Amino acid sequence: MRKYLFRRLAQTIPVLFGISILVFAMLHLAPGDPADMLLGSEATAESVEKLRHDMGLDRPLAVQYVSWAGRMLQGDMGRSTVLNRQVLPEIIKRFKATLILTAGALTFAVVFGVGIGILAATYQHSVFDSVAMLIALAGVSMPIFFTGIAAILIFAMDLRWLPSSGMYPAAGGDIFDLLRHLVLPAVTLGAVSAAILARMTRSAMLEVIRQDYVRTARAKGVGERRVIWVHALRNASITVVTVLGMQFGYLLGGSVITETVFSWPGVGQMMVRAIQARDYPMVQGAVLLVATSFVFVNLAVDMLYAWLDPRIRYS
Amino acid sequence: MTVHSPKAKAADMDDKTDAPLLQVRNLRTEFDTHAGVLHAVDDVSFSVDPGQVLGVVGESGSGKSVTALSIMGLIARPGRVAAGSIELAGHGDLTTKTAAEMRKIRGDVISMIFQEPMTSLNPVFRIGWQIAEALQLHRDMGRKEAMEQATDLLARVGIASPEKRVREFPHQLSGGMRQRAMIAMAMACAPQLLLADEPTTALDVTVQAQILDLMVQMQHAEGAAVILITHDMGVIAEMAQKVAVMYAGVVVEEASVGEIFDTPLHPYTQGLLASIPRGNSRGQELQAIPGLVPNLLHLPTGCRFRERCPAAHGPCAKAEPPLKAMPHGHKVRCWLHNTEVPE
């Protein structure tokens, strides 16, 4: 297991290196010279040249990359050109909000998606199965801007059960306020993942239930509930974890639409704004953080695989 | 092969050792298919005495495995046991048991080993865990005690360094070792009846002999009766005391192993015996039974074997022959041996 972990950790190094190259290249591939853009159209050629020299833009690309990467590793991501604040604290604040939303959405998705998927497989062809899969299909195809706005209209405006936007009340609040604010966006965002998980869990379970070893378990006198939740689920969970990992990575990038609909101050919303404002340091920092976290989520998923499936662990 | 007196397990069996352990009567197992109801097992009756080895032979699709799964109560939708009774000494008719009652019997009083050792063990659980589970379920044992017992069982089925193997996963074991582990699991609770569905078919020839030896050993030690399902007459000769030959869902012949090999009565049995390669038949062509097992949804009229039978004649197309008792406990389902030929 430890050997596998180290091998897998070593594999992340070239990936992270590739990400850093791409993020670095972003600045240079983007149209226009950063110095030009900073100084505006009325700057003299001389002052642009001076700024280019000060920013190190006249040095070879490799040299620029090394010094840039060095700064990134020290957590110095530069200053946002729009907010004129340090990038890193800003991104971390946003990333925390996205992490909370993701955790909420995935909790909902796992409880409902996996649960419904298992029950649907156990009672294949039943009314429950048909209805659940129909709803799941609808859930996969329903756009978030629709479900989100519908949820706000019903639960926030009409019934007034839950707040419709932000993380806290304007006056600030405690963890319970946060949870109340979290419900609608998390459920809206998690519904899609829940639907995908339900369908994948169901098909994985159906495949596993037909395996010989499930028959062996029954032949041993294992009860039906234990057959499903222990013998079959452990095998099906390999598929479930794959889907879950992909959803997790995808949600970490921030769901722009959900964050916009519910005014959730997350990374996705921030990135869109930064891109629109050509706030390169901000975009770079955010992409770097999101991509890196994606790599580590994948690593965690692979570790989970190895824990779930001894055939991976011992090969 | 000698008949071994069983180490009686249930107290009520001591005084009636000649009563059969298992009595299957008129068992009919059906499957709903898109093309209609399929009778996989069609009016099958047989009995197994305590400690006896009953061989069930027949080609694929003859209903051998479905018979075994019916006894286990493991026929799942769209299949069902539609008629008949399965009487287990001391437990009554298994077909009337609830799911919970059957769970207590499965793995304890009756257990089963399967054809495919490669896929019959759960790949994500340790060998020891899987064996211990049966003991924890039926013997009210704690985790630790069950694991110790699992290690002992692995040693008894001839697995070297069992204390290491209990902690391993199925993929770390060879096919032969996995089948040994399956036998250990099946024998964990010292069952009175062991169903072995083609236990050696998927194994190398050299390993086959070892597994058969092991089964004989375990069976003698525990006094368990065995229903050995196979298509291999060689395995039958080596293991069984009584043989039931199945064809297309029915028993066509039943007799002691000596009778079957010396005086096979049914043309199908004769065909099966002729298809065994023998040492002295080198250079000769192997005898095969022409044709295939009929589609159970479209059985021929009369005798099911008629279309492949070299001895088919007039009455065979008219009616299905009954299973008729002959001398020496021999039973056969064939108009050649039945004078009450239909008009």
**pLDDT of B282:** 63
Give the distance between the most distant pair of CA atoms in chain B.
69
**Which of B122, B169, B189, B229 is the best substitution to test chain A (most A C-beta atoms within 10 A)?**
B122
A 276-315 near B (Cβ less than 8 A): 308-311, 314
A73, A103, A122 — which closes off a domain?
A73
Shortest Cα distance from B341 to chain A (angstroms)? 43
- Reported as a single tens digit per residue, the pLDDT across A135-152 is 888 888 888 888 888 888
Does residue B2 have a pLDDT over 60? no
Of B123, B137, B169, Cβ closest to residue A221: B137
List Cβ neighbours of A27 (8 Å cut-off, separation of 6 or more). A34, A280, A284
Residue A303 is assigned to a structural domain of this protein? no
Q: Give the pLDDT band (50/70/90) at residue B5.
A: very low
- Region(s) of chain B under CATH 3.40.50.300: 20-247
Q: Characterize the bridge pairing of strands B225-230 and B193-197.
A: parallel
Please tell me if residue A215 touches chain B, with a CB cutoff of 8 Å.
yes
Q: Look at A221 and B138 and tell me if their CB atoms are within 8 Å.
A: yes
**pLDDT of B16:** 46
Question: How much is the mean pLDDT over chain A?
Answer: 86
**pLDDT of B234:** 86
Q: Output DSSP code: residue B294.
A: P
- Measure Cα distances from B333 to B2, B243, B303 in Å: 28, 14, 9
Does residue B59 have a pLDDT over 90? no
The β-bridge partners of B111 are B194
Q: Which domain holds residue A224?
A: 94-276
Residue A89 is assigned to a structural domain of this protein? no
- Reported as a single tens digit per residue, the pLDDT across A212-269 is 999 999 999 999 999 999 999 999 998 899 888 888 887 877 678 888 888 888 888 8
Residue A82 is assigned to a structural domain of this protein? no
3-state class (DSSP) for residue B309: coil
- Reported as a single tens digit per residue, the pLDDT across B87-122 is 999 999 999 999 999 999 999 999 999 988 889 999
Q: Are residues A156 and A125 in the same domain?
A: yes
Q: Are residues A100 and A236 in the same domain?
A: yes
Q: Look at A310 and B171 and tell me if their CB atoms are within 8 Å.
A: yes
Closest residue on chain A to B68 (Cα): A219
* Residue B327, Cβ density class (10 Å: 0-12 exposed, 13-18 middle, ≥19 buried): exposed
Q: Which range has the worst mean pLDDT, A22-31, A153-162, B61-70, B79-88? A: A22-31
Closest residue on chain A to B186 (Cα): A220
Residue A83 is assigned to a structural domain of this protein? no
Q: Give the pLDDT band (50/70/90) at residue A315.
A: low
Residues of chain A positioned with their CB less than 8 A from the CB of B70: none
Q: What is this model's ipTM?
A: 0.85
The β-bridge partners of B251 are B246
DSSP A58-112: TS-HHHHHHHHHHHHHTT---B-TTT-SBHHHHHHHHHHHHHHHHHHHHHHHIII
- Reported as a single tens digit per residue, the pLDDT across A19-55 is 999 988 877 776 666 677 667 777 787 888 887 787 7
**pLDDT of B343:** 64
A73, A106, A124 — which closes off a domain?
A73
B339 residue type, one letter: T
Q: Give the pLDDT band (50/70/90) at residue B329.
A: confident
Does residue A14 have a pLDDT over 70? yes
Of B106, B119, B138, Cβ closest to residue A219: B106
Q: Give the pLDDT band (50/70/90) at residue A195.
A: very high
**pLDDT of A254:** 63
Does residue B6 have a pLDDT over 60? no
Does residue A174 have a pLDDT over 90? no
Q: Are residues A120 and A258 in the same domain?
A: yes
Sign of CA dihedral B150, B152, B154, B160: positive
Does residue B342 have a pLDDT over 80? no
**pLDDT of B279:** 65
For chain A, the domain total comes to 2
> Cβ(B159)–Cβ(B180) under 8 Å?
yes
DSSP B55-114: EEE--TTSSHHHHHHHHHT---TTEEEEEEEEEETTTEEGGG--HHHHHHHBTTTEEEE-
**pLDDT of A4:** 81
Average the pLDDT over B67-86 and give the result.
92
Query: Which is higher by pLDDT, A172 or A308?
Result: A308
Q: Determine phi and psi for B41, rounding to 5 degrees.
A: -125, 125
Highest mean pLDDT among A68-77, A305-314, B160-169: B160-169
* Residue A250, Cβ density class (10 Å: 0-12 exposed, 13-18 middle, ≥19 buried): middle
Q: Give the pLDDT band (50/70/90) at residue A310.
A: confident
Residue A181 is assigned to a structural domain of this protein? yes
Highest mean pLDDT among A156-160, A261-265, B70-74, B137-141: B70-74
Residue A132 is assigned to a structural domain of this protein? yes
**pLDDT of A5:** 84
Residue A237 is assigned to a structural domain of this protein? yes
Average the pLDDT over B123-135 and give the result.
93
CATH number at residue A141: 1.10.3720.10
> Cβ(B254)–Cβ(B321) under 8 Å?
no
Q: Which residues of B14-38 are buried (b: 16+ CB within 10 A; e: fewer)?
A: eeeeeebbbbbbebbbbbeeeeeeb
**pLDDT of B4:** 43
Q: Determine phi and psi for B87, rounding to 5 degrees.
A: -95, 120
Instruction: Name which of B10, B35, B140, B203 is nearest B88 in CA terms.
Output: B10
Shortest Cα distance from B150 to chain A (angstroms)? 14
**pLDDT of B68:** 94
**pLDDT of B281:** 60
Please tell me if residue B129 touches chain A, with a CB cutoff of 8 Å.
no
Secondary structure element (H or E) that encloses residue B47, with its range: strand B36-48
Query: Which is higher by pLDDT, B283 or A189?
Result: A189
Q: Look at A220 and B105 and tell me if their CB atoms are within 8 Å.
A: no
Q: Are residues A19 and A136 in the same domain?
A: no
- Reported as a single tens digit per residue, the pLDDT across B211-265 is 888 888 888 888 899 999 998 888 898 889 999 999 999 999 999 999 999 999 9
A39, A73, A107 — which closes off a domain?
A73
* Residue A169, Cβ density class (10 Å: 0-12 exposed, 13-18 middle, ≥19 buried): exposed
Average the pLDDT over A13-18 and give the result.
92
Q: Are residues A43 and A138 in the same domain?
A: no
Question: How much is the mean pLDDT over chain B?
Answer: 87
Q: Are residues A6 and A134 in the same domain?
A: no
- Measure Cα distances from A311 to A235, A306, B208, B298 in Å: 12, 8, 26, 45
A 222-241 near B (Cβ less than 8 A): 222-224, 231, 234-235
Average the pLDDT over B54-62 and give the result.
89
Q: Look at A211 and B108 and tell me if their CB atoms are within 8 Å.
A: no
**pLDDT of B9:** 42
- Reported as a single tens digit per residue, the pLDDT across B168-210 is 999 999 888 999 999 999 989 989 999 999 888 888 888 888 8
Domain B20-247 fold is: Rossmann fold (3.40.50)
Angle at A259 between CA A97 and CA A18, to 5 degrees: 70
- Measure Cα distances from B310 to B248, B250, B296, B340 in Å: 17, 19, 21, 21
Does residue A117 have a pLDDT over 90? yes
- Reported as a single tens digit per residue, the pLDDT across B256-265 is 999 999 999 9
**pLDDT of B112:** 94
Q: Are residues A118 and A214 in the same domain?
A: yes
pTM: 0.80
